Amino acid sequence: MPTDHPPRTTDDKSASPLIHLEGIQKVFLTDEIETHALSGIHLEIRQGEYVSIAGPSGCGKSTLLAILGLLDTPSAGTYVLNQQQVAQLDHSARARIRNREIGFIFQSFNLIGDLTVFENVELPLTYRGLAAAERKQRAMEALEKVGMSHRLRHYPSQLSGGQQQRVAVARALGGKPSILLADEPTGNLDSKNGDAVMDLLRQLHREGATICMVTHDPRFARHADRQIHLFDGRIVEEVRDAA
């Protein structure tokens, strides 16, 4: 009997998590002292999920995000991103995958002061060798999505903190990444601007974005589908949204 849907094959990416971490450890050696920043992390993130990572200072949140973003390498364990083993790739391969697969949103915005809003969003796309017309289209689409297309010729110093973070989100979106990694995205903002940026992330998630966010604010952590709690480098609790 014919079916409406073809059978799922083993190479169907929708059958696999976007991110798979297994037994991830990170050990720092200083003055012959071993510091275990992460110990035995097992974590999966599926396409379209919104995951928050919380925990006290020094628990390993930033280290975990750095490994997820290919900014650091684990001391041991397996990291599969979009069905590719990435834990032990060399620097150039990691940079190439990072540019194509991952969008970063930092607490301190990390915008370049002598570039305009448009140029800040366009810059990462130049590293891909995209034609100027495609770079312009992607940058404008991203700026329109975050409500900042009317400021494309302004410089970061001419923007409020909330506006700068919106531009940073647009920069992350321009590359059409597989996942957005947000590191305390409201940390440098007042409550009003912080709420506005979180509303923007929620809207992007509703539109299909996959988001992993480190936050110290329990109000914002509850926006996520799943809350991961770290303590002393280990996942000690996982809470799913009951909605």
Closest among 163, 201, 195 to 182, alpha carbons compared: 201
Q: What is the pLDDT of residue 87?
A: 86
Whether residue 8 has pLDDT greater than 70: no
Q: Is the dihedral of CA 57, 63, 64, 68 positive or negative?
A: positive
Tokens, residue 76 = 């041991």
Could you count the other beta carbons within 10 Å of the beta carbon of residue 207? Answer: 9
Q: What is the pLDDT of residue 179?
A: 97
47-73+89-240 belongs to CATH 3.40.50.300: yes
Each residue's pLDDT tens digit, 78-130: 999 999 999 888 999 999 999 999 999 999 999 999 999 999 999 999 988 89
Average pLDDT taken over every residue of the chain = 91
CB 60 within 8 A of CB 237: no
Q: What is the pLDDT of residue 242?
A: 57
Each residue's pLDDT tens digit, 207-232: 999 999 999 888 899 889 999 999 99
Whole-angstrom distance, CA of residue 161 vs CA of residue 98: 26
